[in-house]
Amino acid sequence: MIYEIPNRKFDLIIIGAGVIGCSIARQLSRYKIKVTVLEKNSDVGWGSSGRNSGVIHAGFNNKPGTLMANYCVLGNQSFAQIAQELNLPYKKIGKLVVAKKEKEVKELKRLKKQGETNGVKNLEIIEASEIKKMEPNLQGVAALYSPETAITSPYHYTISLAENARQNGVQFFLNTPVQGIERIKPDKFIVITPYASFQANYLINCAGVYSDQIAGLVGINAYRIYPCRGEYFILDKKASSLIQHLIYPVPHPEEGGLGIHLTPTIDGNVLIGPSNEYIEDKEDYSVTRKVLDKLYQKAQEFLPVISSRYFIANYAGIRAKQSPPEQGGFQDFLIEENPTVPNMINLIGIESPGLTAAQPIAEQVVAMIDQKEGLSSNPDFNPYHPGILRFAEQDEETKRRLIKEDSDYGEIICRCEQVTKKEILQAIDNPLAARSLISIKYRSRAMMGRCQGGYCLTRIMELLKERYDFKPEDFLLKGPESPLLVGYRSKGVNNDD
C-alpha cells in the first residue's frame, strides 16, 4: 500500500470535532501532549453538537448505574464551572415533565425515584395548581419539577471548547475528512485524509454517527450506528414570554427520545421538537412537511397559544443510536479501547445526554490515556476563554464605555440580534480561521434573528471583502461547494430598460 509520506506527527489524533472531540481536546491541553483534531466539516460543531435542544439535563431519565446516568449527573453538577471558564451563556431555568392524565402520575413518581438514585437533587412532584402558578399557559394534572435542569448554547459551547483548546496548543485541521487509517505498528497509526496524512500513537474516535465507520477503517466491525433524526421549529423571541421552563411530556422510553418538548433557548427563542425518526442517510438534515405538521400539532396540544406566526426557522439533528429501529430506546454510551486495536479509544452511541455529559466523558478518556502514557501537566494551560462580548447584553454605561474604547461597537450590523461590527470582526477573526457565513453566524448570532440575514448578510459580506479581500467565489455558506455567488454581474448594465 502506498501513501503519502507522513508529514504531520502528533502524539494523539482526535477524529471528529463535535462537543465530545472538542472537550477531549481541551481536557488534553491541560497536559503536555501533542494533539490534533481532524474534522471533515469547515468548522467544529456542525454535527449533532450544534443541532440539539441545548439542555443540560439533570439526569433522572437514565437507568441507574449506566454511564449515561453517572456522566449526566456529573456533567450537570459541574457545568456552572465550565460555563464560567468559557464565559458561556447558561441558565438553570428548570424543567417540568407534565402529566396530562392521572395514569401518567405513576411514571412521574418512578422518574423522581430514579433521579434520586442517580444523585439528582431537588426533584419535586407538583400539583395542577402549582403548575398553573409556574406556567399560566399550561395545563396538566401533575408534574415533576426539576430545578437543576439548565440550558446553554450548544454550538457556543462546542466552539468555545475548541477555541480554548486551540489557544492552549491543540491544532485543528478543518475540511479534513478521515478516509483511511493504517496501523504501521501496533501503537502507530497513520491517518489518511485527501490532502495530507497524519501520524500518531493514539487515536480517539469520536466521529458521532460515523464512529462505526471510523472503527471499521482499522478493522473493528463490532459497532453499528443507526442515524435517528430529530426535527425542530424555532420560534421568534416574541414567543419567549409564553413559557418560563422546559416543558416535557411524560416520556415513553420505547420511543428512544424524550418526546416532543418546548425548550426556551438561551438566546430567548423557543424550540418545538425534536421528532424521532430512524433514517437511512447519516447526514440527511432535511426537515419534512409531515414532521413539521406533527410538531406544530403536538406543541399546540401543550400550549394552545402557539401559532405559526412565531415560526422563524427550522432545523434537524441526527442522533447516533446503537439501538436498531426495531428495538428503539436508549443503549448506554460505549467508551472503550477495543482489544483488537489498542491505543485507539472509541466513543460509540454518544446520543443524548451527550452534551451534558461531554466533560465527564472527556475526563474519562483522558484518564484512560493517562493510565497508559502517564501525562504530565501543562503549566501554561489557561482554562479561560472570554469569547466575544455581547454588546446587546450590556447595560447602558458599559455600552457607552465600549463605543468610546472602540467605535466599531457603535456600528450595529445585525439589527434583529443587535450585533455590532466589533463582534462580527471578532467572529471573522476566530482562532480556527473558520470563515464560512455559518461560522460567523454561530459565533456572533448575526443572521439568526427574525429576518434571517435579510438586513445584515450583505454588510457582513462587505466586512469579509474589506478584511480578507474576498472575491465572489470566496463567500461560502458552509464550506467548499456552498458558494453564495457565481461571480460578478456583467459589467456596465446599470439599468434594465
Partner 1 sequence: MMIKKDVIIIGGGAAGLAAATACRRLGIEDLLIIERETTLGGILKQCIHDGFGLIKFKQSYTGPEYAQKYIDQVEELKIPYLLDSMVIDLSADRVLTVANKEGLHKFQTRAVILAMGCRERTRGALSIPGNRPAGIYTAGVAQNLINIHNYMIGKEIVILGSGDIGLIMARRLTLEGAKVKMVLEILPYGSGLPRNFNQCLFDYDIPLYLRHTVVNIKGDKRLQSVTIAEVDEQGRALPQTLKEIPCDTLLLSVGLIPENELSQLAGITLDPVTGGAMVDEFGQTNIPGIFTCGNALQVHDIVDNVSLEGEQIASGVAKYLSIGLSKKIDLSVQAGEGIRYVLPQRLHYLEDTIFSFRVQRPGHHQTLVFKTNQHLIKKKTFLQVNPAEMIRIKLSAQELAGLSNLKVELEL
In this complex, which beta carbon is closest to partner 1, that of residue 371 or of residue 490? 490
177 binds ligand FAD (CB under 6 A): yes
Q: In the complex, what is the shortest distance from the CB of residue 143 to partner 1, in angstroms, rounded to a whole number?
A: 29
Give, as one character, the DSSP assignment of residue 162. Answer: H
Q: Which residues of this chain interact with partner 1, rule CB under 8 A?
A: 233-234, 283, 285-289, 292, 308, 311-315, 396, 399-400, 403-404, 407-408, 410-412, 415-416, 418, 450-455, 457-458, 461-462, 472, 476-490, 493-497
Burial class (CB in 10 A: 0-12, 13-18, 19+), 344: buried
Instruction: Report the nearest approach of ligand FAD to the CB of residue 128 (Å).
Output: 27
Q: Taking the CB of residue 121, how many other CB atoms lie within 10 A of it?
A: 14
Q: Does 83 bind ligand FAD (CB under 6 A)?
A: no
Of 145, 157, 198, 210, the one binding ligand FAD by CB under 6 A: 210
**CB-based burial of residue 59 (10 Å sphere; 0-12 exposed, 13-18 middle, 19+ buried)?**
buried
Tell me the C-alpha to C-alpha distance, in Å, between residue 429 and each of 33, 201, 432, 447.
26, 32, 8, 17
Q: Of the two residues 469 and 481, which places its CB atom closer to ligand FAD in the complex?
A: 481
CB of 495 to ligand FAD, least distance (A): 13
3-state SS, residue 168: coil
**Residue 34, C-alpha cell as written in the block:** 501533542
Q: Of 211-230, which residues contact ligand FAD (CB under 6 A)?
A: 214, 230
Which residue bears the cell 478521515?
A: 178
Choices 34-42, 79-87, 181-189, 300-308; region in contact with ligand FAD by CB under 6 A: 34-42
- Closer to partner 1 by Cβ: residue 185 or 491: 491
By CB under 6 A, residue 47 contacts ligand FAD: yes
Decide whether 6 or 479 has the Cβ nearer to ligand FAD. 479
Rank residues 142 and 245 by Cβ distance to ligand FAD and give the closer one. Answer: 245
Considering only residues 241-280, where is the footprint of ligand FAD by CB under 6 A? 274
Active site residue 57: yes
User: What torsion, rounded to 10 degrees, do the Cα atoms 22, 28, 33, 35 define?
Assistant: -10
Residue nearest to ligand FAD (CB): 354
440 binds, among partner 1, ligand FAD, none (CB under 5 to 8 A by kind): none
Interface residue with ligand FAD, options 57, 166, 422, 441 (CB under 6 A): 57
* Residue 101 parent element (H or E): none
Single residue of 352, 364, 436, 439 touching ligand FAD by CB under 6 A: 352
Nearest CA among 399, 388, 233, 353 for reference residue 300: 233
Q: Which of 249, 256, 264, 317 binds ligand FAD (CB under 6 A)?
A: 317
> Dihedral of CA 96/65/17/320: which sign?
negative
Closest CA relative to residue 76, chosen from 356, 393, 333, 486: 356
How far apart are CB 340 and ligand FAD at their closest, in Å? 20
Q: Which residues pair with 205 in a beta bridge?
A: 15, 346
CA dist 49 and 410 (Å) reads 33
Of 10-18, 120-128, 292-300, 437-445, the window that binds ligand FAD (rule: CB under 6 A) is: 10-18
Alpha-carbon 327 to chain mean position: 26
Residue among 57, 156, 245, 385 flagged as catalytic? 57
CA distances to 54, 268, 367, 423, 463 from 440, in Å: 19, 19, 34, 10, 11
Q: Shortest gap between Cβ of 101 and ligand FAD (angstroms)? A: 25
Closest to ligand FAD by CB, 250 vs 335, is 335
What is the C-alpha end-to-end distance of the chain, expressed in Å?
63
In this chain, which of 27, 29, 36, 53 binds ligand FAD, going by CB under 6 A? 53
> Is 139 or 175 the residue whose CB approaches ligand FAD more closely?
175
CB 88 within 8 A of CB 81: no
Q: If contact means CB under 5 to 8 A according to the sort of partner, which of partner 1, ligand FAD, none does residue 462 touch?
A: partner 1
Size of the site for ligand FAD (CB under 6 A): 39
Tell me the C-alpha distance between 444 and 418, whole Å. 10
Q: 318 is in the binding site of which of ligand FAD, partner 1, none (Cβ under 5 to 8 A by kind)?
A: ligand FAD
CA dihedral for 425, 431, 435, 437, sign (positive or negative): negative
Q: In the stretch 13-32, what mask flags binding to ligand FAD with x, by CB under 6 A?
A: --xxxxxxx-----------
Lookup: cell for 260? 416532543
Question: Coil, helix or strand for 149?
Answer: coil
What is the SS3 assignment for 139? coil
Question: What residues from 434 to 453 belong to the interface with ligand FAD (CB under 6 A)?
Answer: none
Mapped onto helix, strand or coil, the DSSP state of residue 383 is coil
Local structure of residue 11 (DSSP, 8 states): S
Which residues sit at the interface with ligand FAD, rule CB under 6 A? 15-21, 38-41, 46-49, 52-55, 57, 177-178, 206-208, 210, 214, 230, 274, 317-319, 350-356
Just list the catalytic residues: 57
